[in-house]
Amino acid sequence: MDFILDRDDDAPTGPGYPPIDFRAALNDEQFNAVTAPPGPLLVLAGAGSGKTRTLTYRVAWLLHQGVPPGEIMLLTFTNKASKEMLHRVHDLTGEDARRFWGGTFHSLGNRALRMFGESECLKLKPNFTILDAGESESLMKRTVEAEDKLFFKDKTNPKPGPLFNVISLSRNTQKSLAETVSEHFPQYNDIAVALPTFAKVYAEAKREQNVLDYDDLLELWLKLLTEDPKVADYFGNRFRHLLVDEYQDTNTIQSQIIDALAPHHRIMAVGDDAQCIYSWRGADFANIMTFPERHPNTALHRIETNYRSTPQILNLANGVLEAQPAGRHFDKELRAHRANSMKPYVVQTMDDREQAEFLVKRIRSLVEDDGVSPNEIAVLYRSHFVALETQLTFSRTGVPYQITSGVKFFERQHVRDLVGILRFIYNPTDESAWHRIACLLPKVGEKSAHKIYHAALDHARLMQQDFIDALTTDDVKSKVPKGAKDEWPSFCASLRQTADAMREEPPQVTVEVAMDGWYGDYLKGAYADYMDRIDELTALSGFAARFDAMQDLLAQIVLLNGETSDRAVEPNQEAIKLTTIHQAKGLEYDIVFVIGCADGLFPGRRAIEANDVEEERRLFYVAVTRAKNELYLCYPKIATKAGPGGMLLTPSRFLQELDPSLYDALRIKRAHGW
């Protein structure tokens, strides 16, 4: 159905819908996008500019123009976003949300496969079921073991979960497994050649069992659209208007689904290229940049009026955008709706301890003197390890905080594992610590760990032998389950090396020896984000450098955990938010502190080494645009052990690129004033 909009009519009314004054409800930029003639539309919605409002009113506009709700498809990344938009449409128009095809790519893919899965190109049986994440990993494990029964016995090989993650990313980006491993999982380079076979047998097992995993919902939907002309015609003719939220976050296969759904090119893609920050989970920056090429005569609409932040914060955000390489992004300039206020601060501290002390002092002033709610204050960071000192200082000084992107540093699983190794070696009669580390071995559960422990304890007492040496005796090895026997020698050797280091070296060296031994190899197979976890354990090494004796380090960790547990934030208690920038996307706070703004920390060391910092720059832009009233960009001059090589740090290149007139510089005095 083609139609021409009467742009002089500010309040069109379709059949049965209450009138809406679109002109009064929207600013000029939003109104122009909402009322644009049908066709390919790329709406660049800057941070805080009313993206959701624009999409919602576009649906309402189409309804008022006489478009039936059954001809509108709304694709989102979360069910929450879809429900929110359709709920708003209902409030505006009274239209029942069930009359739209609205939801996530995966939910609509499932709906399409239920309708057309028996197509000749798929031949799905109609009673197919969908595996959850755990079931997918279990099936992966069984099929790989049937192909290579020794694969998972090598602890440096990925376990079923990480292996599934590698194959999943390859499928969603439609890149080869070799390329996927090279770019994202270099710890698995040595076994990349085996992965295509594993992916094949896993796919065959799903077909035999008539089950699909989450990725199949996209892959098979795309196959329907590209290989079955009748299905393609159905979608192309039924859904005459396609609206896509957060378009910059689409991966390769999602972008191809969108293109296949809309041969008529009536797509409104809403997004912001400057907020594309999820390449590590498949998002492809090229999708939004090449949209006009794939959809000729695309009308480009910029929504740049920002209702969130002060002009001074937006001036700095625009400075971040201006530093992007020419020709590799869409030009945009955020404009403030709010009144002038203070400039952002760039805060230089001596080290991360002083950085944390500054946070405490400034936050207390904001809360106690200015009446700012702790809930409206956020501390953002590039990586978890950067926030270690902040967590320690907040705990020590009684500042209530919530980590909204995971758990507290010393509660993270790999940190607890390594601390468990240290605890056991320092005190071999600590059976709880033994159970934690022994159960990391394959086929070792609580009962096996108990048997091994007491066999070693009895032998050590009888022979007056060191407990760790007793672990290598035949009496003890006979209690080790068959599945763990191959790893047992390296496990024991690593414990011995760590024990020797603990006896002769300071705690920092002991931590590093424990990291480099058996547990370091275990990490490679246990976690797809191995490199990030190594960074966090390196931060633990930096923390250990403060102590001369292992008992002091271990005691301090326990006390810190006790303090944070005692101060656990109640559901209704106000607290400072600590979170990674990735998790903060889409959120806003009155006051934002971005910590660790130094080269090697932000942008990260690996991005710098790969000469690929553009996504890091976009992440920096996301960070600064979370702030409504005040923004503090903090960096230490001296690195802890967690930092990049060398002791001295330089301010982040993202700070150095900014015109100094965009911020006020703040240096901490040695007396801890400013």
Q: Which residues are annotated as a binding site for ATP?
A: 45-52
Write out 88-107 in H/E/C secondary structure.
HHHHHHCCCHHHCEEEEHHH
With a CB cutoff of 8 Å and minimum separation 6, the contacts of 318 are 333, 334
How far is residue 503's CA from residue 620's CA, in Å, rounded to a whole number? 44
Write out 603-644 in H/E/C secondary structure.
CEHHHHHCCCCHHHHHHHHHHHCCEEEEEEEEEECECCCCCC
How far is residue 291's CA from residue 638's CA, in Å, rounded to a whole number? 44
- Buried b / exposed e along 613-645 (16+ C-beta atoms within 10 A): bbbbbbbbbbbbbbbbbbbbbbbbbbbbbbbee
| Token output for 637 | 């001059």
What is the torsional sign of CA 203, 209, 214, 218?
positive
With a CB cutoff of 8 Å and minimum separation 6, the contacts of 468 are 425, 428, 492, 495, 496, 499
Provide the strand spans (E) within 312-438. Answer: 335-336, 345-349, 377-381, 401-403
Burial of residue 338, with CB atoms counted within 10 A of its CB: 0-12 exposed, 13-18 middle, 19 or more buried: middle
60 touches 92 (CB < 8 A)? yes
Tell me which residue has tokens 């760590």. 498
How far is residue 354's CA from residue 389's CA, in Å, rounded to a whole number? 9
- Known binding positions: 45-52
H or E element, residue 420:
helix 413-426
Read off the DSSP letter of residue 191: G
- Taking the CB of residue 198, how many other CB atoms lie within 10 A of it? 22
Bridge partner residues of 589 (DSSP): 627
Q: Are strands 345-349 and 627-636 parallel, antiparallel or unpaired?
A: parallel
How far is residue 38's CA from residue 4's CA, in Å, rounded to a whole number? 8
How far is residue 77's CA from residue 275's CA, in Å, rounded to a whole number? 15
